[in-house]
Structures are given as structure tokens and as C-alpha cells.
Structure 1
Amino acid sequence: MNYLISSNIFCDIDEEQLIGVLLKRLANFFFLTKDEEDLIRKYHVDVLKKIEYCFQNVDNKYFSADGRVFFASYHSGQYLIYLYFYSQIFAGLKHQLKDKFYYLNKILHSVDIYAEVELPAVFFFEHPLGLVLGRAKYGNNFFAMQGCTIGGNKGVYPIIGDNVKMYSNSKILGKSRIGNNVWISANTYIKDEDVPSDTIVFGQSPNLIFKDIKKQ
């Protein structure tokens, strides 16, 4: 049985169960005050709004059902996004809950996405174990798979365009600018280099190989 937890989101459990499970998971690892529990409940509607917009723009069959957004609470890739949006909200409020949500995501999903990393409104991860995303500038509709890393070099972080796909174990570091509509193939390593738009990129810096994605 599915439950309508907002105007356009179905879930496999009802909203009170969803929040209850979340609070229990947090309490298993961290001390929660009553005020913190109240804040988590208060901002749940804001998290669901972010979930709705993100999921309805993700091209994946598991993110919708009967023309509405579907949030599967036991789908780890979806729950990861749920926790990230919570951490992002509390980062904006400069509240310590941001660190608890960041840490819980790390514990449950083996990802390292700090609360103050600003991912776009629409993103999607496939099998994201070992994913490490640093303080880059991310374009919309960002996609990544297991083992991907985005990080800095000498304090400089990448700039990533729209519709960028990172396949397994690929890396982008330092002063790198990635164009729009770029596919970064598995095991590719980009460091302090630019990648033009509409490109598939292979290899290791400084010997990258570019192919026109429109010709593939």
C-alpha cells in the first residue's frame, strides 16, 4: 500500500512513519534534543518540496508511479537525497543538525557529501557507494555512480556544467571546468583541465581523450 504524503508524492509508508523512522535513526547515533526533533518536523514539508521537484525531473522508473512522484523509503539512493536535503536546509540555518544529517548519510550510505556542498535542485546517483563530492559549483541534472570523487587542488574546486554524467570511479579535481552535456567515462581522472561541452571524455590528465557526443 502506498500513502500520499504531500500533494504529489506517494510513499511506501505514511508521513508520520517516515519522520518516526528518521528520528529513530538519528537517535541511534546522536543525542537529539526535543527542540531538534521539533525542528526536524517543522522543516519536513520543505524537504518534501525539494524531493518532489528533484524526483519529478529524474529520468528513472523508480522515482514515479501513476504519474506522481514516488519516494521509496527503503530505496537507499532516494533516502540519501532525503537526508542531503535536510542537511542542506540546516546548513542554511547554520544549525548543528546539518552535521548530524551529513554524518548519518555517511554512516548509512557510505557517501561523503558535506551539508554545505550545494548540489543542484535536480541530481541522481546510481549505486553511489564511495561517492565523495566536494565544494565544486554544480550544474543542474548532475549524475554520478559509485566511487566518483570531486575535490579541490590547492584550494581551487571544479566548475561543472549542466547534464554532466560521471561514471564509476571517475574523478574531477582542482581548476577544472566541465562543459554542458558531458559524459565522463569510468575511471577517467581529470585534474586542472577543461572539458568542452557535448563531449565524452576518457583517460587520465594530462592525456585526456575527447570525443564529440553528438557523433556517438
Structure 2
Amino acid sequence: MIVEIGKADLINHVNRQLTNMFGPSDDVEPYINVTLQKCEKCFQVNKSSYYRNDQQELFFSPYHSGQYSIFLYYLSNTIHLIGNNKKLASIVYYLNKILHSVDWYYEIRLPEYWGVEHPVGSVLGKAKYSNGLFLYQGCTIGGNKGKYPVIGENVILYANSTILGDSKIGSNVLVSTGTIIKDDTIPDNCIVFGQSPNLIIKNKDKNYLDLMISHFWSI
């Protein structure tokens, strides 16, 4: 994967942002290689043209807010998992919140590949996540009364949709704009509208959903 400004300048870029926001902090350099490996796995299946340069090579720009928000999540999570540095993980997470208005806590386990488009206002809390998650602005996944969602593969959350509590979302599911799912079970291969407990679930042929989801991923 090509890093637009190069790895060394990327490290300096992040360190300067952390210093400017929070004062002197530990260096992020020990965590960059693992973080970029995670980003490469995530970005290589994304069909957005922004993830390729003119030669169609995989391309990461820290000046693309969607890419950079995912990078900062993976960086904070990597620091948490292999660095045991709670302060540094916390301020990288906080930097992501400041820059992009997203709340993706470093302890949550997001999958190997997922994506965003205009993710401002999104909150990803405790849940079991699977590959193919894609979200737009204002989306929330979180708990209710100590219960947390289980999200299947290839779940697309359109703007201002919410999944809460003891919800189990199948695979190949489109969650329509403004939908609120709370303590509900959604089957595979469907489109969901409305608000729990009065959801409208439209079952669709798997081939139809596969075609819809193929617009997001190249696998």
C-alpha cells in the first residue's frame, strides 16, 4: 500500500497532531507497521476510487478523512492490544473524535474490513462485528440494559440508523435511513425500515443483496 506522504512523514504527522492537541506524548512509531498492515487489509477490498491512485495502486492518504479516521481507530486499537499504553491509546482515540466527530473506542474490535462514507456523528460501541460493515453519517451501534448487538457480515447502515441492545443482525442486511433496531432479530438477506418493535422487514433474494453489496466490496 502506498502512503501518500510516506511512512516517516505519517509518523511525524500523527505525533505533531497529538502534541498540538494534548502536549508531549509517547511516540506512535512502534505501532505504525501493524496499523498500516491492518489498514491495507481493510482498504484493499474497498471499491471507492479514493483508495486507488491513477495507476490503480492501493493508496492511503491521511488527508482523506474517511481513510484517516479508520487509520486512527486501528492505531488506537493496536496501541491498546500490543502496547498496553492506555494514555496513548486514549489520546489517539480522542484525536479521532476531535478531527472526525466519531466515537470509535479503542477497546472495541472492529473487523478486518469495513468502511465509512461521511461518518461524522457515528458511534460504534460494544458489539460483535463482522466483515463488510459499512456506515454513513449519524449511525449508532451500542448497548441497552447490559446487552449488546451481534452484527453479521455485509451489514450496511444508512444515515442516522441505530442498532441497540440484544439485537442480532443477519448477513446481507441493508438498514434504511433513520431505522432504530432495539432488542430485535433481523434475518439474512433483507432490507429493514422503521423502529422497533414495529419494524418492516422486506426479505430479498440473496442474489439481489449480493449485487447491492458488490458496490461496496471487491470480494
**TM-score under structure 1 normalisation?**
0.91
Name the counterpart of 1:47. Answer: 35
Q: 3-state SS of the aligned residue for 2:194?
A: strand
Deviation of residue 29 (structure 1)?
Answer: 1.4
Which has the larger displacement, 24-33 or 114-123? 24-33
Name the counterpart of 2:179. Answer: 188
Q: Does the Cα contact within 8 Å between 1:138 and 1:160 map onto a contact in 2? A: yes
Question: d(CA) in 1 for partners of 2:39 and 2:56?
Answer: 15
Question: d(CA) in 1 for partners of 2:24 and 2:42?
Answer: 28
Name the counterpart of 1:179. Answer: 170
Q: 3-state SS of the aligned residue for 1:207?
A: coil
- Output the amino acid matched with 1:150: I
- Candidates 74, 86, 89, aligned match of 1:85: 74
Mind listing any 5+ residue stretches in structure 2 that lack a counterpart? 210-219
Q: Does the Cα contact within 8 Å between 2:31 and 2:79 map onto a contact in 1? A: no
Question: d(CA) in 1 for partners of 2:98 and 2:89?
Answer: 14
Question: d(CA) in 2 for partners of 1:193 and 1:11?
Answer: 42
Name the counterpart of 1:3. Answer: none
Q: Does the Cα contact within 8 Å between 1:111 and 1:129 map onto a contact in 2? A: yes
Alignment of 1:51-90 (within 5 A): 51-65=39-53, 66-90=55-79
User: % of aligned pairs identical?
Assistant: 48
Name the counterpart of 1:6. Answer: none
Question: d(CA) in 2 for partners of 1:213 and 1:84?
Answer: 33
Mind listing any 5+ residue stretches in structure 1 that lack a counterpart? 1-8
Question: d(CA) in 2 for partners of 1:89 and 1:14?
Answer: 20
Name the counterpart of 1:95. Answer: 85
Name the counterpart of 1:18. Answer: 10
Cα deviations across residues 130-181 of structure 1 (Å, max 9, x unaligned)? 0011010001111000000111000100000000000000000000000000
Question: d(CA) in 2 for partners of 1:177 and 1:112?
Answer: 22
Q: Which has the higher contact order (CA 8 A, sep 6+)?
A: 2
Q: 3-state SS of the aligned residue for 1:119?
A: coil
- Candidates 191, 201, 217, aligned match of 1:200: 191
Name the counterpart of 2:214. Answer: none
RMSD, aligned α-carbons:
1.3
- Output the amino acid matched with 1:44: I
Name the counterpart of 1:115. Answer: 106
Q: Does the Cα contact within 8 Å between 1:55 and 1:64 map onto a contact in 2? A: no
Which has the larger displacement, 129-138 or 52-61? 52-61
Q: Does the Cα contact within 8 Å between 1:10 and 1:68 map onto a contact in 2? A: yes
Name the counterpart of 1:157. Answer: 148
Cα deviations across residues 70-89 of structure 1 (Å, max 9, x unaligned)? 10121000000110111111
Name the counterpart of 2:215. Answer: none
Question: d(CA) in 2 for partners of 1:188 and 1:209?
Answer: 10
